[in-house]
Structure 1
Amino acid sequence: MSELVAALPMYDWPEVRDEVDAQWVLLRDAFRQKGIDAPEAIVRRNGDLPPVPGGIRDAAGALIAPDPATLPPDELDFHRLWLHPLLLFAQTCWGPMELGLSRHVQVVGQPSYDAYEGGQGELYSSALVMRIGEGPEVRSPADGSALIPLDLIRGKRFIFNSLDSMSGIIALTRDLQAAGEGLDIFSSRSESGGHRASIVAIAEGRADVAAIDCESWALAQRFEPAARKVAIVGWTGRRKGLPFITARATTEKTVRAMREALAGLSEQPRIQRVG
């Protein structure tokens, strides 16, 4: 049995766990055909991660994360997952990558967002959402440019999933800066813990504006009743979507084989090879 770790946590809503598992089976079998000892199943809990006695250390031996065995077993700490020395394959976000994660992992590939409004190939954008009736609904610009309704969102309460999220706050911050504005355009800012929670908060009137990545918005339209009370009033500009990563210690041979496997699956939805 493989001791390596794989996870696809970023869009792993309870309602689509079977779909996510099926995506991993597709990837797992393609990796195994390339001679990679891919694990049978993805992990969803800290308790599923192999222990790392003494904690997780970087290439220089500095402690960068605790032993997963010391974490609440039924939760999943994304950052500890991404830093695990046995990580074969997982999704992350370019926000954490820019904030230091890139020093400890390697990028294997990028998913395709062609199936979603606001996506094109490896690029995605976030829908700016408000309660229905509070602003005109808009479609994603064909050229992928930002469409930020400054007058509409000025003075409103902004909610975001997490401070290190590219889709939830960083992309919008940069688009506002390009327009000569900043997050102080909002009357308040609060953290929800997840895109789905942000949508619910807006529908319930606890916040006014959120930036929701296009795939999460598509999931919300399928499974979150609160999304029926929310509409798209703008879009962030398109940027690179969530990368597939592996541990820094993964061998060059294995990384190359995974990229070849992804290239062979490039006709499949949501999978695209990195250049």
Structure 2
Amino acid sequence: MNWVAALPMYNVTPALALDWRALLDHVHQSLRPWLDARGDTLALADPEPSLQECWLRDDLLLSQTCGYPLVRALAGRVQPVTTPVFTVDGCEAGDYHSVLVARAAANVTSLAQCRGLRAAYNTPDSNSGMNLLRSAVAPLASGQPFFASVIETGGHLASLQALQDDRADVAAIDCVSFAFVLDHLPDLAHGLVEIGTTRSAPGLPLIASKRVPPEGIDALVSALADAVEHDRPLAKRLKLHGFARRPLDDYSSILEIEMDAVKRGYPRLA
């Protein structure tokens, strides 16, 4: 089998993209005995324009998705491998949350004060940018539209840019992405204030095709752990503490977050 691997989710800058690829290089080296014994190969690929097409490839040995697609569009079609544990506050045991950020010019200090303002979110299938934001707004909305307008931007960096360009006032940003932004793209956070955080959820899982056998999953878990252990400078740049094998059932909490908003009469971000 000619396998492929790509890590598309936290390539916040070109330098970080190279670091994630370096992590895959380490994994590739550790996997060579398993690959050679099977007569298999592994190619490190650039993320495809369509993430869902990438995630659903039969030859996918390793990639990363959001927990929301994992339990919806990808449910039963891929298998989880492990979940990164980041050194960012709130990411213990492989959890994460979103940071609520607003334009300082909006003069708000809480999400409740954002009623009637403009919101930006990355994509409809994002847990961090949409689902967690919807969950935070639902108790405040009383079943009615909460924001004056809502725009889809296509990504967290684009949502932050929308705030910078005065096209939106508030957004929910994955806390790991925001930590990378503060370190590497501080201008994108200039003039913004943190007004809170969302509830926690299981972090973005690493996944594989259903065709990867159980011993392949075990080999991947071991290779990832070895990569972090043996290249601590790389792990530090990627804010990686290690990995946690979260059962798939853990991710059902993301659907519970969705259903709670629906039960509160707030089925879509508005």
Q: Which residue of 1 aligns with 2:44?
A: 41
- 1:57-72 residue pairs with structure 2 within 5 A? none
Shift of 1:4: 0.8
Structure-2 separation of matches of 1:171 and 1:246: 25
Give, in whole Å, the separation in 2 of the partners of 1:183 and 1:260.
49
Structure 1 stretch 226-235 or stretch 252-261: which is displaced more? 252-261
Residue 116 of structure 1 corresponds to which residue in structure 2?
88
- How many percent of aligned residue pairs carry the same amino acid? 31
In structure 2, distance between residues paired with 1:182 and 1:162: 22
* Cα pair 1:118 1:126 within 8 Å, conserved: no
SS of 1:100 mapped into structure 2: coil
Superposition TM-score, scaled by structure 2 size: 0.77
**Which of 188, 206, 209 matches 2:149?**
188
Higher relative contact order at CA 8 Å, sep ≥6: structure 1 or structure 2? 2
Q: What is the Cα deviation at residue 203 of structure 1? A: 1.2
Residues matched between the structures, number: 232
Structure 2 counterpart SS, 1:102: coil
Does the 8 Å contact 1:266/1:273 carry over to 2? no
Among candidates 97, 102, 105, match of residue 125 of structure 1:
97
> Does residue 250 of structure 1 match 2:253?
no
Corresponding position: 1:200 with 2:161: yes
1:9 partner amino acid:
P
Unpaired segments of 5 or more residues in structure 2?
A: 247-270
Taking the aligned partners of 1:22 and 1:195, their CA distance within structure 2 comes to 23
1:129 partner letter: V
Q: Structure 1 counterpart of 2:104, which letter?
A: I
Pair 1:151-2:112 in alignment = yes
Instruction: Trace 1:1-275 onto structure 2 (pairs within 5 A).
Output: 3-13=2-12, 14-35=14-35, 37=40, 39-45=42-48, 76-113=49-86, 115-135=87-107, 149-177=110-138, 181=142, 184-221=145-182, 222-223=184-185, 225-265=187-227, 267=229, 269=235, 270=240, 271-275=242-246
How far apart, in 1, do the equivalents of 2:195 and 2:35 lie? 47
Aligned partners of 1:261 and 1:253: how far apart in 2? Answer: 12
Cα deviation for residue 207 of structure 1 reads 0.3
Identify the residue that residue 258 of structure 2 maps to in structure 1: none
Which residue type is aligned with residue 217 of structure 2?
V
1:197 partner amino acid: A
Q: More displaced, 86-95 or 165-174?
A: 165-174
For residues 273 and 254 of structure 1, the distance between their equivalents in structure 2, rounded to whole angstroms, comes to 17
**Distance in 1 of aligned mates of 2:168 and 2:151:** 8
CA distance in 2, matches of 1:135, 1:167: 24
Partners of 2:112 and 2:140 within 8 A in 1 = no
SS of alignment partner, residue 42 of structure 2: coil
Unaligned regions of 5+ residues in structure 1, if any? 46-75, 138-148
Kept in 2: contact 1:129–1:233 (CA 8 A): yes
Q: Distance in 2 between matches of 1:128 and 1:182?
A: 21
More helix by share: 2
TM-score (norm 1): 0.76
2:129–2:172 contact (8 Å) kept in structure 1: yes
Aligned CA RMSD, in angstroms, stands at 2.4
1:157 is displaced (CA, Å) by 0.7
